[in-house]
């Protein structure tokens, strides 16, 4: 009954306090629920993936060992006396022929299903009950699998066209060459039983009850697989696994729990045979064990929300009255009466709010004065920020060019580039100063143009005409370099040689002018008019009005810095002519230091 009465008669503040508290708490708990859930999920998933990744690596190392063992076995076969004798002109006697045919049945390698050795005279050595002929060996096409492997053990997965079973199997082959004479080689082939590769996949038998494992050859053909009934590994999933494996030819462990659709994939490639052993862990296994965790989290969060609702109702009733007092005082404050103070004694944080409100009234006038001072500081800060916006990509490109020239041209060109870049950096930084002499500014832009001439051979030449005392005339730093950069980047974009840049510094009616002319492609009239129109805009509208950053970023930067430093008397003009473009900067006060 009390709850219904509170809901009907409670103030708007109380109801809103409860509503917003519950909403905020619910959102916070929901986000934390997601965060904790994701964290727990990731940790449990990573733990399962690591376990199967380790299993895959073990299987891969076992595959390495099998190849090494087969390579040693075939090497022993080649060195066997009767094998070497069979490669000589006289061949083997009947007794040795029979003995050699039986020899391959007792080599040191398990799970050999059949074998065949062909010497360089077309003699075939196989099991006694086998009727293989040299024509059968040729017809099988197995020689193509040996390819250009001079004397290397080759594994290949193929249909049994040699021994006539027609089944898919793993074969081990190798050319057999004479150790004493240069003769045509023989060929040795072993057909391996399924148990040979099952020895590899069987290493993870304790884990493969939940995950799929298999072996694929270099062409992506599935040689062997073990897939539990509850794991779906259809054609589409097999194709995705094959495509993921084919993305790299890296040997060893090249996929370490990579997430693919429906699960996680780990793979190990044996470097000599090209066979890949993989494990695929479905999401159902990765998510196993998360259910109880989320159930416990859900119960805890529901309990917290209910408890928060009860406490919110209780405290909202306690805080409503002092909040109303504070609200009334703030509502009635008209900005001129600073003596209407609040006196609260609730022994809660609301007392601090009331005290802070009283202090606020006493500080408003002082704060208003501080705001004016901060506005002046803000203009200085904005100027420094604009200076820092000079595009650094030129420096990176230059350093890259220096590196290439150092490799190609040895000493001379590199030294020129480094010297010019050093000057450019030193003058650009100017020890943190924003005002430099015209002499330093011209030295800076000369260094920049020398660097560009090295980078763009025969693209352009330049002339500097300074008609003022360069060492006693001062300007903002880095206002000429962006104009020269635009000349090279846009003016000369359609030419490969014969460019011309002229820089003039002169005085007219106690105003300093700096102009940059280039004889490249003239600026579009529409663009020139838009730039000239910017001189009529206040500083606060410059960057918002000229939004075309492709052609105007440096222009906006220059004009904004000039206006912040020199006021409305500063200006920037562009004039498109038939034979090029001229950009001019006007600085009031003649560049005298006492006017800065």
Tens of pLDDT, residues 389-437: 555 556 556 656 666 676 676 666 776 676 677 667 666 655 557 888 9
Q: 518 burial class (0-12, 13-18, 19+ CB within 10 angstroms)? A: buried
Q: What is the pLDDT of residue 575?
A: 92
Phi, psi of 342 (to 5 degrees): -110, 135
DSSP string, 175-203: EE--SSS----EEEEEEEPHHHHHHHHGG
Instruction: Please tell me what DSSP assigns to residue 325.
Output: H
3 state DSSP class of 330 = helix
Tens of pLDDT, residues 40-55: 777 777 887 888 888 8
Q: How many helices (H) and strands (E) does the chain have?
A: 18, 17
Q: Which residue has the tokens 């917003």?
A: 20
3 state DSSP class of 568 = helix
Residues 6+ apart with CB under 8 A from 359: none
Tens of pLDDT, residues 573-586: 999 988 999 999 99
Q: Which residue has the tokens 């929300």?
A: 305
Cβ proximity of 545 and 558 under 8 Å: no
Structural domains of the chain in order of their starting residue, each with its CATH number:
9-302 (3.30.450.20), 333-386 (no CATH), 389-595 (3.30.565.10)
3 state DSSP class of 159 = strand
Structure tokens at 475: 């300007």
- Statement: the pTM of the whole predicted model exceeds 0.85: no
* Residue 10 to residue 312: CA distance in whole angstroms: 13
Structure tokens at 490: 């846009």
Q: How confident is the model at residue 208 (pLDDT cuts 50, 70, 90)?
A: low
Which residue would you say has higher pLDDT here, 331 or 498? 498
Determine what percent of the chain falls in helix, strand and coil, rounding each to the nearest 5: 55, 20, 25
Structure tokens at 310: 């009860």
CA 188 to chain centre: 49
Q: Which residue has the tokens 């061949």?
A: 91
Q: Which of 182-186, 239-243, 288-292, 567-571 has the lowest mean pLDDT?
A: 288-292
Instruction: Please tell me what DSSP assigns to residue 490.
Output: I
Q: What is the pLDDT of residue 354?
A: 72
* Residue 431 to residue 122: CA distance in whole angstroms: 86
Cβ proximity of 245 and 267 under 8 Å: yes
Cβ proximity of 555 and 546 under 8 Å: yes
Cβ proximity of 241 and 259 under 8 Å: no
Return the sign of the alpha-carbon dihedral for residues 514, 519, 520, 526: positive
Q: Which of 486-490, 543-547, 557-561 has the lowest mean pLDDT?
A: 543-547
- With residue 206 as reference, give the H or E element that holds it: none
Question: Regarding beta strands 460-466 and 499-508, do their DSSP bridges make them parallel or antiparallel, or are they unpaired?
Answer: parallel
Cβ proximity of 297 and 33 under 8 Å: yes
CA atoms within 13 A on the CB side of 179: 11
- With residue 215 as reference, give the H or E element that holds it: strand 212-216
Closest by CA position to 190, among listed 142, 239, 244, 141: 142
Residues of 534-566 as b/e, b for ≥16 C-beta within 10 angstroms?
bbeeebeebbeebeeeebbbbbbbbbbbbbbbb
Q: What is the pLDDT of residue 548?
A: 47
Tens of pLDDT, residues 358-399: 777 777 756 756 665 656 655 665 565 555 555 555 655 665
Phi, psi of 577 (to 5 degrees): -115, 175
Tens of pLDDT, residues 545-559: 544 444 445 788 888
- Mean pLDDT, the chain, integer: 80
For 568-576, the CB contacts below 8 A with 24+ separation are 571/535, 572/531, 572/534, 572/535, 573/531, 573/532, 573/535, 574/523, 574/527, 574/528, 574/531, 574/532, 575/528, 576/522, 576/523, 576/524, 576/525, 576/528
Tens of pLDDT, residues 117-168: 999 898 999 987 778 889 999 999 999 999 887 888 999 999 999 988 889 9
* Residue 163 to residue 145: CA distance in whole angstroms: 16
Q: How confident is the model at residue 1 (pLDDT cuts 50, 70, 90)?
A: very low
Q: Which of 107-121, 274-288, 355-369 has the lowest mean pLDDT?
A: 355-369
* Residue 264 to residue 181: CA distance in whole angstroms: 53
């Amino acid at each position: 009954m009390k709850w219904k009465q509170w809901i009907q008669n409670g103030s708007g503040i109380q109801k809103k306090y409860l509503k917003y508290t519950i909403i905020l708490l619910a959102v916070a708990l929901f986000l934390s629920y997601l965060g904790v859930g994701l964290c727990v999920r990731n940790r449990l998933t990573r733990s399962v993936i690591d376990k199967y990744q380790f299993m895959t690596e073990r299987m891969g190392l076992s595959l390495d060992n099998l190849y090494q063992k087969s390579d040693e076995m075939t090497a022993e076969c080649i060195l066997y006396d009767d094998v070497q004798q069979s490669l000589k002109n006289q061949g083997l006697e009947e007794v040795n022929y029979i003995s050699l045919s039986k020899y391959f049945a007792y080599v040191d390698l398990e799970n050999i299903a059949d074998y065949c050795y062909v010497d360089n005279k077309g003699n075939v050595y196989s099991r006694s009950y086998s009727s293989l002929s040299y024509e059968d060996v040729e017809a099988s096409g197995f020689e193509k699998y040996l390819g250009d492997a001079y004397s290397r053990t080759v594994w290949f997965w193929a249909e049994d066209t040699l021994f006539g079973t027609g089944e898919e199997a793993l074969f081990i082959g190798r050319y057999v060459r004479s150790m004493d004479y240069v003769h045509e080689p023989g060929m040795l082939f072993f057909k391996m039983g399924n148990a040979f590769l099952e020895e590899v996949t069987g290493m993870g038998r304790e884990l493969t009850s939940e995950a799929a494992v298999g072996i694929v050859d270099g062409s992506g053909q599935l040689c062997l697989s073990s897939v539990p009934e509850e794991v779906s590994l259809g054609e589409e999933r097999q194709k995705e696994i094959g495509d993921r494996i084919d993305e790299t030819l890296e040997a060893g462990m090249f996929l370490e729990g990579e997430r693919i659709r429906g699960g996680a994939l780990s793979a190990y490639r044996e470097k000599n045979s090209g066979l890949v052993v993989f494990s695929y862990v479905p999401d159902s296994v990765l998510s196993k064990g998360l259910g109880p965790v989320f159930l416990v989290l859900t119960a805890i969060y529901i309990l917290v929300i209910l408890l928060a609702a009860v406490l919110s109702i209780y405290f909202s009733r306690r805080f409503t009255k002092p909040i109303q007092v504070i609200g009334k005082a703030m509502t009635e404050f008209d900005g001129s009466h600073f003596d209407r103070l609040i006196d609260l004694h609730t022994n809660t944080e609301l007392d601090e709010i009331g005290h802070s409100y009283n202090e606020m009234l006493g500080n408003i006038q002082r704060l208003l004065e501080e705001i004016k001072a901060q506005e002046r500081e803000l203009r200085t800060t904005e100027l420094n920020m604009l200076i820092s916006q000079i595009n650094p990509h030129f420096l990176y490109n230059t350093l890259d060019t220096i590196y290439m020239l150092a490799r190609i041209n040895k000493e001379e060109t590199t030294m020129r580039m480094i010297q010019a870049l050093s000057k450019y950096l030193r003058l650009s930084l100017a020890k943190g100063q924003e005002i430099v002499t015209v002499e330093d500014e011209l030295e800076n832009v000369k260094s920049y143009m020398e660097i560009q001439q090295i980078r763009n051979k025969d693209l352009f030449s330049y002339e500097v005409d300074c008609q003022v005392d360069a060492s006693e005339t001062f300007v903002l730093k880095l206002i000429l370099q962006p104009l020269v950069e635009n000349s090279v980047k846009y003016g000369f974009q359609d030419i490969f040689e014969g460019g011309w840049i002229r820089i003039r510094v002169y005085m007219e009616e106690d105003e300093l002018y700096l102009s940059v002319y280039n004889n490249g492609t003239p600026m579009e009239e529409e663009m020139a008019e838009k730039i000239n129109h910017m001189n009529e805009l206040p500083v606060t509208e410059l960057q918002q009005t000229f939004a075309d950053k492709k052609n105007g970023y440096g222009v906006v930067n220059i004009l904004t810095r000039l206006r912040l430093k020199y006021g409305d008397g500063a200006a920037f003009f562009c004039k498109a002519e038939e034979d090029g473009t001229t950009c001019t900067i006007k600085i009031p006060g003649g560049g005298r230091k006492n006017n800065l």
